[in-house]
């Protein structure tokens, strides 16, 4: 077996390295590189990407490595549709808008349907059978190496088009889907979260990170928070129109409230809780930049994103003994099964969980006299 060094994709910040379990000496060599990090969910290491570090890995593991070029995967080309296909795309757009789908979903569905319409440009779409549609999905997976998420997005867009635009029966759309990956959410420890959210010196930046973590928010939900959504007397934050257009309440931290009052006095927002320089909503790009700067400066999990704070919020609540149903409500999950995934990522240690061996040894008295005979 060989060490796999993943050639960084464009604009990558890290170099990923996979070291076989038996290669202990090589693993110890990697551990000496500054900024190295082990990603237990992916079972691989990463180090900061610089040309010097990329060359260093090749020198350290000379004759024992293989480079995986992630840039060799072809990109999906830009597409020009004919008039007939453009009309179908317009029908799809109209139906999505009338049904109140989000801009994000609208954009993704139209992108996926555009490729589908181009591929079957010379076919009668109403006569396409399941096998032909699945052959298109296979084409995307085989040629462009799309992942499970994008594969499902393409299927959902096609399904919506046939069911909602063409009015075809539902059984027509039972297209083979990829097996669902049982991956665990990326989570930071409580110590890492504290370091990260306390890093910004800018009061607004700190308040943003505190709010995402302490309320378990998605970035879009943070940006949509209004001043009136902070219910200080009742002790909750009102989330209006979260994912799936669902409203919900989440807990309001006493420490967050103190910070927000300080922030409010200084910045005096007029409507949105966090506003940009022009008074409109704060931008997602700016939130990403704030988080990225704090992550790099504090040296916490280099693959963490703002959404990792939401995952960490749920996991830390579980570790502190909070009821799973309450966590489900605060996160806005329809099903408890979605929330239950956090039970798999709680910090397992003998400080938090009593080992059954310790319990039975402590609760049973052994006959020392017989034991020594």
Do residue 49 and residue 110 come from a single domain? no
For the question of residue 170 being annotated catalytic, the response is no
| Contacts with 188 (C-beta within 8 Å, 6 or more apart), sequence order | 196, 300, 301, 304, 308, 309, 312
CA atoms within 13 A on the CB side of 83: 0
Q: Is the pLDDT of residue 118 over 90?
A: yes
Same domain, 271 and 312: yes
Question: From CA 156, how far away is CA 137, in angstroms rounded?
Answer: 11
Smallest CA-to-CA distance from 273 within 291, 257, 290, 292 is with 257
* 140 & 97 share domain: yes
- 31 and 119 co-located in one domain: no
pLDDT at residue 347 in the model: 58
Is the pLDDT reported for residue 344 higher than 80?
A: no
Residue 329 belongs to a domain: yes
Torsion angles phi and psi, residue 348, rounded to 5: -90, 120
Q: Is residue 17 part of a domain?
A: yes
* Residue 95 confidence class, pLDDT cut points 50, 70, 90: very high
- Which CATH number is 205's domain given? 1.10.443.10
Buried b (16+ CB within 10 A) or exposed e, 218-248: bbebbbbbeeebbeeeeebbbbeebbeeeeb
CATH number, domain of 113, equals 1.10.150.130
pLDDT reported for residue 61: 93
Active site residue 218: yes
Annotated catalytic, 333? yes
In a domain, 40, yes or no: yes
Residues 236 and 279 in one domain: yes
pLDDT at 351: 54
- Asked if 221 and 288 sit in the same domain, the reply is yes
322 and 212 in one domain?
A: yes
332 shares a domain with 198: yes
Which segment of 84-98, 161-175, 235-249, 259-273 scores lowest on mean pLDDT?
161-175
Secondary structure (3-state) at 44: strand
Is the same domain home to 268 and 323?
yes
Domain presence at residue 239: yes
- CA 144/CA 67 separation, integer angstroms: 20
Give the mean pLDDT of 250-278: 94
Asked if residue 358 belongs to a domain, the reply is no
Separation CA 119–CA 105 (nearest Å) = 21
| Active-site entry in 16, 310, 311, 316 | 310
Among 16, 218, 295, 311, the one annotated catalytic: 218
Task: Look up the domain containing 95 and give its range.
Answer: 83-173
Q: Is residue 148 part of a domain?
A: yes
The reply to whether 337 falls in a domain is: yes
List the catalytic residue out of 93, 110, 240, 243: 243
pLDDT over 60 at 371, yes or no: no
Q: Do 218 and 129 fall into the same domain?
A: no
Report pLDDT digits (tens) over 176-199.
777 666 666 788 989 999 999 999
Both 268 and 317 in one domain: the answer is yes
Verify that 35 and 130 share a domain, yes or no.
no
Let me know if 243 is a catalytic residue: yes
Q: Which residues of 84-100 are buried (b: 16+ CB within 10 A; e: fewer)?
A: ebeebbeebbebbeeee
Asked if residue 352 is part of any domain, the answer here is no
* Number of domains within the chain: 3
Condensed to tens digits (0 to 9), the pLDDT of residues 45-81 reads 999 888 899 999 999 999 999 988 766 667 788 899 9
- For residue 349, which phi and psi values (nearest 5 degrees)? -160, 165
46: CATH: 3.40.1170
User: What mean pLDDT, rounded, does the chain reach?
Assistant: 87
Any catalytic annotation for residue 310?
A: yes
């Amino acid at each position: 077996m060989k060490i796999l060094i993943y050639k960084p994709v464009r604009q990558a910040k890290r170099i990923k390295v996979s070291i076989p379990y038996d290669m202990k000496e090589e693993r110890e060599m990697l551990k000496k590189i500054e900024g190295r990090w082990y990603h237990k969910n992916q079972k691989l290491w990463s180090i900061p990407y610089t040309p010097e570090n990329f060359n260093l890995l090749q020198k350290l593991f000379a004759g024992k490595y293989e480079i995986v070029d992630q840039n060799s995967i072809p990109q999906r080309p830009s597409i020009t549709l004919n008039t007939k296909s453009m009309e179908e795309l317009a029908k799809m757009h109209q139906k999505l808008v009338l049904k109140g789908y989000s801009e994000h979903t609208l954009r993704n569905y139209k992108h996926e349907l555009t490729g589908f319409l181009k591929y079957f440009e010379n076919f009668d779409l109403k006569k396409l059978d399941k096998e032909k549609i699945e052959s298109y999905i296979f084409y995307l997976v085989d040629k462009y190496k799309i992942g499970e998420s994008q594969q499902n997005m393409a299927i959902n867009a096609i399904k919506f088009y046939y069911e909602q635009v063409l009015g075809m029966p539902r059984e027509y759309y039972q297209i083979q889907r990829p097996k669902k990956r049982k991956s665990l959410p990326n989570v930071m420890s409580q110590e890492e979260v504290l370091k990260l959210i306390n890093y910004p010196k800018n009061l607004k930046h700190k308040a943003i990170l505190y709010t995402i973590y302490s309320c378990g928010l998605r970035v879009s939900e943070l940006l949509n928070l209004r001043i009136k959504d902070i219910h200080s007397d009742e002790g909750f934050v009102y989330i209006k129109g979260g994912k799936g257009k669902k409203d919900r309440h989440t807990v309001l931290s006493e420490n967050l409230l103190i910070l927000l009052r300080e922030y409010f006095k200084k910045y005096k927002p007029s409507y949105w809780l966090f506003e940009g320089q022009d008074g409109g909503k704060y931008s997602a790009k700016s939130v990403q930049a704030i988080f990225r700067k704090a992550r790099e400066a504090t040296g916490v999990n280099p693959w963490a994103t703002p959404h990792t704070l939401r995952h960490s919020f749920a996991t830390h609540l579980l570790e502190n003994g909070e009821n799973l149903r309450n966590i489900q409500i605060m996160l806005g999950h329809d099903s408890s099964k979605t929330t239950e995934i956090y039970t798999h990522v709680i910090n397992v240690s003998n400080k938090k969980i009593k080992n059954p061996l310790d319990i039975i040894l402590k609760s049973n008295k052994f006959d020392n006299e017989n034991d020594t005979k």
